[in-house]
Structure 1
Amino acid sequence: MAAAVILAAGMGTRMKSSLPKAMHPLGGRPMLTHLLAAVSAVFDRVIVVVGPGMEALAKLAAPHATVVQEERLGTAHAARMAAPLLAGYAGDVAVLYADNPLISEATLKRLVAARQEAGLAMLAMRPADPAKYGRVVTDAAGDVQRIVEWKDATEAERAIGLCNAGVICAEGPLMLRWLDAVTNDNAAGEYYLTDVVALAAAQSRCVAVEAPEAELAGINSRAELAASEARLQGQWRSAALDAGVTLLAPETVFFSHDTVIANDVLVEQNVVFGPGVRVESGAVIRAFSHLEGCVVRGGAIIGPYARLRPGADVGEGAHVGNFVELKATTLGAGAKANHLTYLGDASIGPGSNIGAGTITCNYDGVNKHRTEIGAGSFIGSNTALVAPVKVGDRALVAAGSTITEDVPADTLALARGRQTNKPGRGFRGKKK
């Protein structure tokens, strides 16, 4: 039995943003959501500490409990805010930071297991550039004695490679006791969570659980956010390649946290996968396409320069060509929309062909309406389908038509102005 307290009250002044730091996106979802996914798999209770006016962040944390740190008096003070919700709790309590969003479930399990052998367990790392991280001071046996901040460290202490990642875990009653014992007797007048380590070491054994920098590095600036995004994308690209996906230029392909791509999919250069995308085996995603909230089924070809928006479902062997946009639209098996087309709130039957410049006029200024096109139909170029409207199976709509009424199956529909020719009125008939 273990509980997690996530400190998420920081605004992140170095982010230079009105958005709470924990809500900044990473891999297609907020930082806090990343951490919650890992924490929820390990801990039976989760409490998120937010700042005043952070209702949106509290909503993001739901269904987990939240408490508000009305005054920002330091990290130990923030952790203390969870004390009323932990009264009488006998299990372990871990304190984490929302700006360490990439800690894995496996690492958290190792932390909890290590706590069983010591009074306090903490996460630590050995970054390539320790920079100004706090150093973890250990004794000859490797047990943790204290954490010294870079600005307070001696030259010998700054040479230590083991750095603090900020996460600690202890028995609930002991954690609350040590948090209460932390003082603000320092230059900043704040209550620091790192002081808990020294208090714990004076009474019991403290151990450090090491994990890679890529997991534990904190995010406090836009530059660090970009660096974490790059590391995350690199991991996802490697995983896709290992799973049998062909990436012609891996460094130009961007995934989201929930992107699912089957083996034998080909992804060309400069493709972006937003949240909620699933691509089945044998599909081809051509260059400069953007996909979000959609399904691409086996053998389909997307792009180049295509946009699939939420609700798009592209059938087996279907084609979505250059400068074609689909939104809340099902494109049946073998159907084609190859050029310069917008299909919104529509269903297109198998084998139908949608000509260049076709649009579904799905919005009347107040409500959205659907367009239904049957199997094997042909929609001529530059057609406007004014929804709600239905086109039957094997129907033919003449190019340049504006369709406002249903078209029965096996019917030719023409809806355009009559052409009138005036002989002799061309250029040769005009005088200068």
Structure 2
Amino acid sequence: MSTHELAIVVLAAGKGTRMKSDLHKVLHPIAGRPMLEHLLASAEELSPKHRVVIVGAGREQIETQLGERASYRVQEPQLGTGHAVQQAEDALDGFDGDVLVLYGDVPFVKAATMRAMTDRLHESDSPAVVVLGFEPEDPLAYGRVVADDAGRIAKMVEFKDASDEDRACRLCNSGLMAARKSDMFDLLRRVGNDNAQGEYYLPDIVNIAIADGRNCAAVKAGSEYEVAGINSRAELAAAEAQWQEEQRDHWMAEGVTLRAPDTVFFSWDTELAPDVTIEPNVVFGPGVSVARGALIRAFSHLEGASVGEDCKVGPYARLRPGAVMEKDSFVGNFVEMKKAVLGEGAKASHLTYLGDATVGPGANIGAGTITCNYDGYFKYRTEIGARAFIGSNSSLIAPVRIGEDAIVAAGSAVTRDVAEGELRMVRAEQLVKPGWADRFHDAMKKKKESEKK
């Protein structure tokens, strides 16, 4: 494994016009995470010393997303991929390691693949440039990497310039490359723009190095998906679908039961323990962890939530950020939690909103209960003690505390604290007026008949 210092250069200056979006192309999310962040997370496993992002239109969005995690260079005008990489040279002044060129819209290159490229630079034949190739099911009009079985490149050729023999080669150019810094920029200075587009192409450095009598080598990606570029909404959707399919396979291999795998959607950071069961049509937003033995029932949506051991969620439940379910707790259909803790063994079986609340162990929250946490300006908390019983259709108007073992009678609107073991009933007195409804109906019917005349 190479121990040489590494710099990554990420090309993200393209306008992304096919996306037809005000959001920069490389910031469009896959599984709740910008595609650029997927790429950088993999690159971080190689501990790069420098991270240079080449930007153009929409640069402010990228700089806002990454902040001080990277340095930035502007490519203006945009004269090709070789020209784009050249913009990074001054940002790497004084650096003498390896340079790995990545593309912000090619988000799923694995860290192992990146490492294989940089390791190949330092093998005994000391290639000047390492190219990442791939073998698609249909090579289409991809440029070809003509190489021997050891990966030594004879030539790089664009499809339109390729002979029939060249086109028979199935190894295609992904565009990703690695070289020592000195080689990278020395070769780029010799790249010309004598082509139909008048641009400076990064792959030309390979043929220049070969013409100098130097070796260049190819490393093969694990799959076509790993190097797929994303340039349109359709390609974004296809990437999302592929990512989700891989995650479903991953979690089932880890001991998670998916009743209808194709209907379950994960986030980039979903954490599931073995023996979790997930029913159909469940969506995980970012920041969810689910502990062993939990059951997530159909049509539930979870985001920013922690679900403890042996908990049951749903069906049709919504857990929003800050929701915490402790061991063996339960929320049923049409229950929503936000910034709320449901203690061990506590339950809210149906039609309940728990916001900015703490519910003690063993408490029971009746149907139709809501914690009234917002007055239009500020949020307030509700505290419900252990084993408390909240009757159906109750409104707990925060800030309020319900003591341990207390009972709130059904239909109550509670505005003051309830002591431990106390019964609180807050209802208007019931009035009984015999015959009133009959008289009302008679009067209304007569009025309606008179209006018809």
Q: TM-score range by the shorter chain?
A: over 0.9
Answer yes or no: is 1:91 the counterpart of 2:97.
yes
Native 8 Å contact 1:14 1:221 kept in 2: yes
SS state of the match for residue 102, structure 1?
coil
Q: Hey, what does 2:449 align to over in structure 1?
A: none
Deviation at 1:312, TM superposition (A): 0.5
Answer yes or no: is 1:131 the counterpart of 2:140.
yes
In the aligned structure 2, how far is the partner of 1:69 from the partner of 1:2?
22
Structure 1 segment 225-240 matched on structure 2, within 5 A: 225-240=236-251
Q: Hey, what does 1:200 align to over in structure 2?
A: 209
In the aligned structure 2, how far is the partner of 1:194 from the partner of 1:119?
12
The amino acid that maps onto 1:15 is: M
Cα deviations across residues 258-298 of structure 1 (Å, max 9, x unaligned)?
11110111110111111111100000000111111111000
Answer yes or no: is 1:9 the counterpart of 2:13.
yes
Native 8 Å contact 1:52 1:70 kept in 2: no
Cα deviations across residues 95-143 of structure 1 (Å, max 9, x unaligned)?
1101111111111111111111311111110011223322223368752
SS state of the match for residue 3, structure 1?
strand
In the aligned structure 1, how far is the partner of 2:160 from the partner of 2:372?
63
Q: Hey, what does 2:369 align to over in structure 1?
A: 358
Structure 1 segment 31-430 matched on structure 2, within 5 A: 31-42=35-46, 43-62=48-67, 63-117=69-123, 118-138=127-147, 142-203=151-212, 204-211=214-221, 212-427=223-438, 430=441
In the aligned structure 2, how far is the partner of 1:241 from the partner of 1:373?
37
Q: Hey, what does 1:20 align to over in structure 2?
A: 24
Greater gyration radius: 2
In the aligned structure 2, how far is the partner of 1:96 from the partner of 1:279?
34
The amino acid that maps onto 1:256 is: S
Native 8 Å contact 1:334 1:352 kept in 2: yes
In the aligned structure 2, how far is the partner of 1:253 from the partner of 1:303?
14
The amino acid that maps onto 1:394 is: D
Native 8 Å contact 1:253 1:271 kept in 2: yes
Deviation at 1:192, TM superposition (A): 1.7
Native 8 Å contact 1:369 1:387 kept in 2: yes
In the aligned structure 2, how far is the partner of 1:366 from the partner of 1:428?
46
Cα deviations across residues 211-266 of structure 1 (Å, max 9, x unaligned)?
11121121122222222222211111111111111111111111111111101111
Cα distance 1:83–1:428, how it changes in 2: closer, same or farther (>3 A)? same
The amino acid that maps onto 2:309 is: G
The amino acid that maps onto 2:313 is: I
Deviation at 1:54, TM superposition (A): 2.1
Cα distance 1:141–1:332, how it changes in 2: closer, same or farther (>3 A)? closer
In the aligned structure 2, how far is the partner of 1:162 from the partner of 1:273?
38
Runs of 4+ in 1 over 6 A off after TM superposition: none
Native 8 Å contact 1:394 1:409 kept in 2: yes
Deviation at 1:200, TM superposition (A): 2.4
Native 8 Å contact 2:14 2:57 kept in 1: no
In the aligned structure 1, how far is the partner of 2:291 from the partner of 2:77?
50
Cα distance 1:366–1:182, how it changes in 2: closer, same or farther (>3 A)? farther
Please provide the CA RMSD for this pair.
1.8
In the aligned structure 1, how far is the partner of 2:311 from the partner of 2:157?
57
The amino acid that maps onto 2:84 is: A
SS state of the match for residue 393, structure 2?
coil
Deviation at 1:391, TM superposition (A): 1.2
SS state of the match for residue 189, structure 2?
helix
The amino acid that maps onto 2:51 is: V
In the aligned structure 1, how far is the partner of 2:137 from the partner of 2:354?
50
Alignment gaps of 5+ in structure 1: none
Native 8 Å contact 1:145 1:197 kept in 2: no
Deviation at 1:194, TM superposition (A): 1.9
The amino acid that maps onto 1:423 is: P
In the aligned structure 1, how far is the partner of 2:113 from the partner of 2:327?
40
SS state of the match for residue 201, structure 1?
helix
The amino acid that maps onto 1:184 is: N
Task: Pick which of 290-299 and 76-85 moved more.
Answer: 76-85
